[in-house]
C-alpha cells in the first residue's frame, strides 16, 4: 500500500485538470503542463481532486502508483506556485550578471562563460553572487541549475565555486608542513 499514492491530489481554485486516456493536463495561472501515466495505473478525476490507483498488485504497478501521483502533484504545484532553485557563488572575483537572456559568469577562467536562458525557465541575478532559476517544470529548473553549477563546482578546501543556497560543503584541512 503506497502511503503517497493513496492520497488524492487536490486542485486549488484557479486550476483545472483534464484527463484523456492516460494523459493528465493541468492548466493554472502560470501555464499548462501535462503528464502521461503508464498503463499500470488508473488516473480518475473526482470532484475537485485527481486520484491515482494501481491496476494490479504487481511490483511495477505499485512502484508507478506513488510516482504517478507525485508527478500529478508536481504539475499542480508548477502551474500555481512554480519551482525555484537558488545558487550562491563564492570566490574572489567570481560573479554573475544577466545581460538580456544570457547569464554571464566570471569564474576564474581566462574567458567569461555565457549561459543562454532556455525556453520555459527564468534566470535572475539580484546580486553578483546570487543566481535564481525559476519555472513551472521541476525537472527543467533542476537541470538548468545543475548545468550552471557544473561550470565551477564548490571545492572542499576554500569553498570556492557555485553551490546551492542550502547545500553544505564539507570542508577539508589543507596540507601541513
Domain range summary for the chain, segments of one domain joined by +: 9-80, 83-164
Can you give the pLDDT at residue 131?
92
Of 88, 83, 65, nearest to 134 by C-alpha is 83
How many degrees, rounded to 5, is the angle at CA 110 between CA 106 and CA 113?
40
C-alpha distances in Å from residue 65, one per residue of 36, 79, 97, 109: 13, 22, 43, 47
Whether residue 9 contacts residue 70, with contact meaning beta carbons closer than 8 Å, is answered with no
Per-10-residue mean pLDDT of the chain, 177 residues long, equals 78 86 88 87 86 86 86 90 91 89 89 90 90 91 91 89 89 85
**Domains 9-80 and 83-164 belong to one CATH topology:** yes
Q: With contact defined as beta carbons under 8 Å apart, do 22 and 39 qualify?
A: yes
For residue 62, what pLDDT is reported?
A: 84
> Contact, 37 vs 43, CB < 8 A?
yes
pLDDT for the residue 134: 92
pLDDT at 42: 86
pLDDT of residue 146: 92
CATH topology of domain 83-164: Outer Surface Protein A; domain 3 (3.90.930)
Nearest to 29 by CA among 18, 45, 43, 13: 13
Render pLDDT for 111-162 as a digit per residue (tens, 0 to 9): 998 989 998 899 998 899 999 999 998 999 999 999 999 998 998 998 889 9
Q: What integer pLDDT is reported at residue 84 of this predicted model?
A: 93
| Cα–Cα nearest to 75, from 46, 39, 32, 20 | 32
Judge whether 82 and 104 are in contact, CB under 8 Å: no
Q: What is the CATH number of domain 9-80?
A: 3.90.930.12
Mapped onto helix, strand or coil, the DSSP state of residue 53 is: strand
Phi, psi dihedrals of residue 72, rounded to the nearest 5°: -65, -40
pLDDT score recorded for residue 1 = 63
Are residues 90 and 160 in contact, defined by beta-carbon separation less than 8 angstroms?
yes
Amino acid at each position: 500500500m503506497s502511503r503517497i499514492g493513496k492520497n488524492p491530489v487536490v486542485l486549488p481554485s484557479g486550476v483545472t485538470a483534464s484527463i484523456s486516456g492516460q494523459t493528465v493536463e493541468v492548466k493554472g495561472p502560470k501555464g499548462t503542463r501535462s503528464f502521461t501515466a503508464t498503463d499500470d495505473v488508473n488516473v480518475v478525476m473526482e470532484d475537485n481532486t485527481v486520484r491515482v490507483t494501481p491496476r494490479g498488485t504487481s511490483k511495477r504497478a505499485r512502484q508507478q502508483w506513488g510516482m504517478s501521483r507525485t508527478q500529478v502533484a508536481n504539475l499542480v504545484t508548477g502551474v500555481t506556485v512554480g519551482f525555484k532553485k537558488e545558487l550562491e557563488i563564492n570566490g574572489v572575483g567570481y560573479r554573475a550578471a544577466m545581460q538580456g537572456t544570457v547569464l554571464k559568469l566570471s569564474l576564474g577562467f581566462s574567458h567569461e562563460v555565457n549561459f543562454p536562458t532556455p525556453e520555459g525557465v527564468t534566470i535572475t541575478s539580484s546580486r553578483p553572487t546570487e543566481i535564481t532559476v525559476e519555472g513551472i517544470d521541476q525537472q527543467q529548473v533542476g537541470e538548468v541549475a545543475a548545468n550552471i553549477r557544473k561550470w565551477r563546482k564548490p571545492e572542499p578546501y576554500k569553498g570556492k565555486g557555485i553551490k546551492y543556497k542550502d547545500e553544505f560543503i564539507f570542508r577539508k584541512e589543507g596540507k601541513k608542513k
